[in-house]
Amino acid sequence: MWESFYEQFIVYDGYKLVLQGLMNTMIIALVGLVIGIVIGTIVAVIHVAGTRSRVARVFAYIGDLYTTIFRGTPIVVQLLVFHFVIFPLIRLNIPGVWESVLVFGLNSGAYVAEIMRGGILSVEVGQLEAGRTLGLSFTTTMLKVVFPQAIKNVIPTLGNELIAITKDTSVAGYVGTTDLTVAFRALASNDYQIIIPYLMLALVYLVIVIIFTVIIRIVERRLRKSERRS
Amino acid sequence: MKEEVKTQDLAEQENDNSVPARLARGEHVALIEAEHLTKKFGDLVVLDDISEKIEEGEKVAIIGPSGSGKSTFLRCLNVLEDPTSGAVYFEGANLCDLKVDINLHRRRMGMVFQQFNLFNNMNVLKNITLAPVHIGLQDLRKIKRKNFFRKIANLFRKGDKKQPLLPVETTAKQIKESAKENAMRLLNRIGLADKASAYPSTLSGGQRQRIAIVRALAMNPKVMLFDEPTSALDPEMVGEVLALIKELADEGMTMVIVTHEMGFAREVATRVLFMDGGKIQEQGAPEQIFGSPTNDRLKDFLSKVL
């Protein structure tokens, strides 16, 4: 069993495939989350500001529609729809990895929007009011006062989202992206010695998630500390 | 053109006492004037058609039972709460008009909250300098941007038609330094200079509130609005905050204070307003309000709190 895996992994250059898969998985997860955070934050702010004017309210509705659609359909279906319907329709021709990045970004944006909204609402209104009474604009107060505090509150939940998106990338193979899962499946299917490759696959995901968890915890502790310094 | 006609119309109506009409006639306008101020939360009428003037140099205390609308009234004065109808004029500008840049006017109205509302993510110094620095830099950028466009436009203008550039008097560095200096001066004044780099969560309520007051002062406001500044404090810390407010009053700062500290209102205020049911029920000099009240509800209120 081990000899077969060794053969596949080293002799037949399986490690190259695995490394490429690892890279793709990381790109999709990390860049996807960054896109998600950007989209999510914008949607959340529009939603929070939604009561201020009629224009903002229209945008808030669009944001609601967006979260409903992307939270209401499975990620695999979204991948398929984008790959086979939307991207051909708008003649967008990019490598499969970046297709997945876009779809995962859009998908996680819907979740992050809710996370961010909760984060912004968790900061007392008084903070915003204090900024406004000093003559700072809504945007400035948001950027300088509310966001830094909101981020602190959402780091644990965002970490959760990072872990979720990392594991979700295992379906990127549906649209022909070589991610970790695809790479290990290739190893397994070459000689039908499936046990070790799949166990290794699980192990790799587990290690990635553990590393992320540790990093998130460190970041969280750093941010919390700054507030208690006297 | 249209504006002119409108102004004339207003000027002609001699018995029109609204602020724009009086401004058009060149008559005196108080620092803050509220006109027919009404605020409803759904069906609940919180402020019921209040008209009131606050002159420069006045120290107005607003007292009344909870739910009487005094905090809402104060928050309407700098449009933190949008009035349902009516208008608030500050230095003659209608703050409820969406065309008026509210941020410009709010710089000149300091506000102090019951819950202090210091920025939790910044140390004390940054709390005080944030707004002055940000606004200073913003104005500086605006001037520079204008100059840039004028320079480009001047390229296409002939000799005598060239527009002069606006003077740039400060640099970003100067703005930051003078804001910091001013903040340290203010902190020294309240004896908290050693707390400049501390975060709000490490300070006592009294210290936080005094810093909140100083933060508002750093903008050189024309008027200070206090929204129950001592209600969230431990009894032993009320004194230090009231002493600071009194000091400001003695220096001639115009202020409006919503308070439950009757002794303080009596001592500091030049005028006391008693509010109940969304209306100003009685007002006058403190001796009159506390000494010989005429309104039944005021009598009832005073008998309970004094």
Identify the residue with better confidence: A194 or B262: B262
Could you report how far apart the first and last alpha carbons of chain B are, in Å?
Answer: 58
Across the range B10-14, mean pLDDT stands at 58
* pLDDT tens-place string over residues A170-223: 999 888 888 999 888 888 887 777 888 889 899 999 999 999 999 999 988 888
Give backbone dihedrals phi and psi of B213, rounded to 5 degrees, phi first.
-65, -45
pLDDT at A230: 45
Question: Whole-prediction pTM value?
Answer: 0.82
A189 within a domain of the structure (yes/no) = no
pLDDT at A40: 94
A27 within a domain of the structure (yes/no) = yes
Give which of B74, B109, B119, B222 to mutate to test A binding, by max A Cβ within 10 Å.
B119
Q: Do A133 and B104 touch (CB under 8 A)?
A: no
Q: What is the ipTM of this complex?
A: 0.86
A195 within a domain of the structure (yes/no) = no
A229 within a domain of the structure (yes/no) = no
Residue among A95, A204, A223 at smallest CA distance from A158: A223
Nearest to B119 among A130, A228, A229 (CB): A130
pLDDT at A14: 78
Number of domains in chain A: 1
Give chain B positions within 8 Å (CB) of A132: 80, 103, 106
A39 within a domain of the structure (yes/no) = yes
CATH code for the domain of A66: 1.10.3720.10
A60 within a domain of the structure (yes/no) = yes
A222 within a domain of the structure (yes/no) = no
Identify the residue with better confidence: A72 or A12: A72
Range(s) of the domain holding residue A62: 19-184
Q: Do A129 and B109 touch (CB under 8 A)?
A: no
CB atoms within 10 A of CB A139: 10
Q: Do B120 and A134 touch (CB under 8 A)?
A: no
Q: Is the pLDDT of residue B120 over 50?
A: yes
Q: Is the pLDDT of residue B306 over 70?
A: yes
A23 within a domain of the structure (yes/no) = yes
Q: Do B121 and A149 touch (CB under 8 A)?
A: yes
What tokens does B199 get?
Answer: 């975060």
**Mean pLDDT value across chain A:** 88
Give chain A positions within 8 Å (CB) of B219: 134-135
DSSP A176-204: T---HHHHHHHHHHHHT--HHHHHHHHHH
Give chain A positions within 8 Å (CB) of B202: 228-230
* pLDDT tens-place string over residues B19-52: 888 888 888 888 999 999 999 998 999 999 999 9
pLDDT at B1: 46
Give every CB contact of residue A180 below 8 A, 6+ residues apart in sequence: A18, A21, A22, A24, A25, A169, A170, A201, A204, A205
Q: Do B121 and A152 touch (CB under 8 A)?
A: yes
What tokens does A182 get?
Answer: 């695809």
